[in-house]
Amino acid sequence: MAKLVFDIETTPLSVDMFDESQQEYLFRDLQKIPEEAAREIRRTEIQRQFALWPFTAQVVCVAMVNAESCRGQVLFIADDFEANAGEARGVEFVPCADEVELLTAFWDVAQHYDSIITFNGRSFDVPFMYLRSALLNVPITRKNWLGYRFQTDPHCDLAEQLTFYNVSGRDGAARRFNLDFYCRAFGIESPKSHGITGMDVGNLLQEGRYRDIAEYCLRDVHATVTLYQIWKERLAGIK
């Protein structure tokens, strides 16, 4: 059965998009900080966290490939369609006008897959895609991808598999590392090896470097595919 490997990139929404009540809720912590300089530092930290929450951020890129063939698509928001379209190594780069178009195109592909592979997708990517789609009234064609946590079908989340479902907590032998660390440990080319990280996505979007975002997201997916193959060969089945 074909499995879809995917990863998303997100950027914070502007604070101006939230009304007074929402802003009061989001920045409530600031009321506890008396010093102005410390408040501004905390405000910046909170705004950076916006990218982690589907009610305060948008999806700007989704890279997805078939786990066996590695053919797939990268959907990404871009102003200049012709300059950013194309194909590389069996993956089609598809610029989208906005987030609604991107999410719609993603679910059009998703309906053909029953199973997915992610890194931290159960905690982040899947609920983020579900909630953003619901907020924007985009039909969701695959609603079972969270699945049962202690099974790898329909969702194999490598962040959970490599920690044996967080058996060790934060400091034990099976503590969780990020994808970059696992890649370097297992000898896989890290998605960050080209000098771009997830922290750069917002600035890249503002600079109009849409293709750079797309290629970074695709590197995440290719790394996840290789890590999955290693896990499947060496660790799958261990309880």
Mean pLDDT rounded to a whole number for the chain: 93
> Binning pLDDT at 50, 70 and 90, where does residue 149 land?
confident
- Residue 84: the pLDDT is 66
Sequence-ordered list of residues with C-beta below 8 angstroms from that of 105, at least 6 positions apart, any chain: 73, 75, 94, 96
Sign of CA dihedral 152, 165, 229, 131: positive
- Residue 8: the pLDDT is 98
User: For residue 189, what is the DSSP state?
Assistant: P
How buried is 184 (Cβ within 10 angstroms: 0-12 exposed, 13-18 middle, 19+ buried)? middle
Which residue segments constitute the domains of the chain, with CATH numbers given? 3-234 (3.30.420.10)
Sequence-ordered list of residues with C-beta below 8 angstroms from that of 187, at least 6 positions apart, any chain: none
Q: Which of the given ranges, 32-36, 79-83, 125-129, has the highest pLDDT on average? A: 125-129
| CA-based nearest residue to 89, from 70, 104, 108 | 70
- Residue 227: the pLDDT is 98
What six digits make up the tokens of 25? Answer: 């809720």
- Residue 57: the pLDDT is 98
Task: State mean pLDDT over 170-175.
Answer: 92
| Bridging pattern class, strands 3-12 and 57-66 | antiparallel
Distance CA 138, CA 136 (A): 6
